[in-house]
Amino acid sequence: MNSQFTAPASISIRTTATDADGSVARVEFFSGTTKIGEDTDGTNGWSYSWNGVAAGTYELTVKATDNAGATASASITVAVTQPAPPPVATVPPPPSEPTSPLPSVPEAPVITDEPERKVFLEVHPNPFTRNAQVEFTLKESEEVSLELYDMRGTLIRQLFKGVTEGGKKNKYNLKADGLTPHVYTVHLITRKAFYVQKVVLVN
């Protein structure tokens, strides 16, 4: 697996797991101590896609569990860097007595490696004081978990867990009750993907 990526990164994590005296039941994927997903079907190999990853250094761990409950794990460190700024086009000054129209300024191209997104995750208002609304739309119906974490990766609360309808905007209320003014992250976890949106609670 490549260990260098550009933000916002889409990281495909693949691993192999076998059990000599039984079968592998599942493989879980972690960023540090935070679980980002799992794969329970290793027919085409054990894998997980982690999307929308911000710049930073991450220790990714895979943990395999067999049918008897025994576990084994392995880790790798990956770095996600900020994308390079787009080039800027400049136009030389016109002559003092131009005899022809001045050239127009071309638009600067935008450099991006962001993949096509299948999920649109939004929080508004953001920042918020008392209540915020979390919205997301999936292309297909699937089981999801919508969770709120602090910046240390600690799970604060689960906003929703269940099956959502594809193509429909799902809305869930985020209340400030019991929260202190801080920066939090909303995690949308599907069976094969993981999305993150920052949200700020202010006084």
Domain containing residue 162: 119-201
Amino acid at the residue 88: V
Task: Give the tens place of pLDDT for each residue, 140-171.
Answer: 899 999 999 999 999 999 999 999 988 899 99
Answer yes or no: is 109 within a domain.
no
Count: domains in the chain: 2
Percentage of the chain modeled with pLDDT above 70: 88
Choosing from 64, 81, 98, the residue where a domain stops is 81
pLDDT at residue 54 in the model: 94
Q: What is the number of other CB atoms lying within 10 angstroms of the CB of residue 44?
A: 8
Q: What is the DSSP string of 134-167?
A: EEEEESS-EEEEEEEEETTS-EEEEEEEEEE-TT
Residue partners of 186: CB distance under 8 A and separation at least 6: 121, 123, 134, 146, 147, 148, 149, 159, 174, 196, 197, 198, 199
pLDDT, tens digit, for every residue of 100-136?
Answer: 665 554 554 443 344 444 567 899 999 999 999 999 9
pLDDT at 122: 93
**3-state DSSP assignment of residue 118:** coil
Note the pLDDT of residue 98: 59
Whether 75 contacts 53, CB under 8 Å: no
User: Is 89 contained in some domain?
Assistant: no
Domain assignment present for 92 = no
- Tell me which of 81, 110, 137 is where a domain ends: 81
Q: Is 39 helix (H, G, I), strand (E, B) or coil?
A: strand
Q: What is the CATH number of the domain that holds 52?
A: 2.60.40.10
- For residue 174, give the CATH number of its domain: 2.60.40.3080
Kindly report the backbone phi and psi dihedral angles of residue 36, in degrees, each rounded to the nearest multiple of 5, phi listed first.
Answer: -110, -10
Choosing from 81, 103, 130, the residue where a domain stops is: 81
125 and 191, same domain (yes or no): yes
Q: Is residue 113 part of a domain?
A: no
Are 182 and 125 part of one and the same domain?
Answer: yes
DSSP 44: T
